[in-house]
Amino acid sequence: MNKIVSKEYLSPNVVKFEVEAPLIAKARRAGHFVIVRVGEKGERIPLTIADANTEKGTITLIVQKIGLSTSKLCELNEGDCITDLVGPLGKATHIENFGTVVCACGGVGTAPMLPIAEAMKKAGNHVITVLAARTKELIILEEQMRKFSDEIIIMTDDGSYGNKGLVTDGVEMVLKRQKVDLCVTIGPAIMMKFVSELTKKYNIPTIASLNTIMVDGTGMCGACRISVGGKTKFVCVDGPEFDAHQVDFDEMLIRLNGYKDIEREQLHKIAPNT
């Protein structure tokens, strides 16, 4: 049982939790994730760690309400406990001074990008962040990202904030004007696919942090498997970060939708009329 010490809405569907987990706070590195479970009949879902405070012994999780389990989690309040929390899982991000790093993040993907941008900045990189969302109110963590970015480019689909356009438009703007040594991209699979296609064209090494379906998160089940360079890899133990240019995003997109029908049925449990 892990107690929630604070809860904050970043946007109508995105919640930031600070959760007591002293051991994880101490052990986690950028790129790591945890598995959480809410309730005795709850599902195990992976969430990337957005931040940690070793003094307070807390980790920060940023959750977007998408399905049943994320909605249940978002219903919890300060003082409530998360039934199960385990981690840190996965391999940490490989951090070094690459030179110029573009962090391309979309929507709630900004949350797992935060510790990576921080680590990249601390390693001496020139960090350019492209922060994208559908509309202004879905842009999250802008202030925090600014702290670790030498430059920040905001993109909204509807032009309600920053530049009008997709994340790829922002990234391409950078690639056209200057030399970039590495691109890191986190967001919806479809977004990462297009970022990857773009950077491939410009021949920029690119890392994508993948968010697949998982059950145990420790390598046991294989639900998270994807194809990387034609080989099957497990996101939970081989990842979650991979060479984006080698990832079969189309297959990943199909696999992510594998339980959509069942999930839609299950949502009736919390909102019978939807």
Binding site for other proteins (CB under 8 A): 23-24, 27, 37, 39, 41-44, 68-69, 72, 83-89, 215-216, 218-223, 225-227, 232, 234, 237, 251, 254-255, 257-259, 262-263, 266, 269
3-class state of residue 260 by DSSP: helix
Give yes or no for a contact between 35 and 87, defined as CB atoms under 8 angstroms apart: yes
Q: Which residue's CB is nearer to other proteins, number 243 or number 251?
A: 251
Find the shortest distance in angstroms from Cβ 207 to other proteins: 20
Count Cβ atoms below 10 Å from residue 257 Cβ, excluding itself. 12
SS3 content of the chain, % helix, strand, coil (to 5): 30, 35, 35
Find the shortest distance in angstroms from Cβ 66 to other proteins: 13
Find the shortest distance in angstroms from Cβ 228 to other proteins: 11
Which helix (H) or strand (E) element contains residue 34? strand 33-37
Find the shortest distance in angstroms from Cβ 204 to other proteins: 27
Q: Which residue's CB is nearer to other proteins, number 9 or number 259?
A: 259
Q: Which residue's CB is nearer to other proteins, number 5 or number 27?
A: 27
Provide φ and ψ at 69, rounded to 5°.
-70, -40
Judged on CB neighbours under 10 Å (0-12, 13-18, 19+), 253 is middle
Q: Which residue's CB is nearer to other proteins, number 165 or number 188?
A: 188
Find the shortest distance in angstroms from Cβ 90 to other proteins: 9
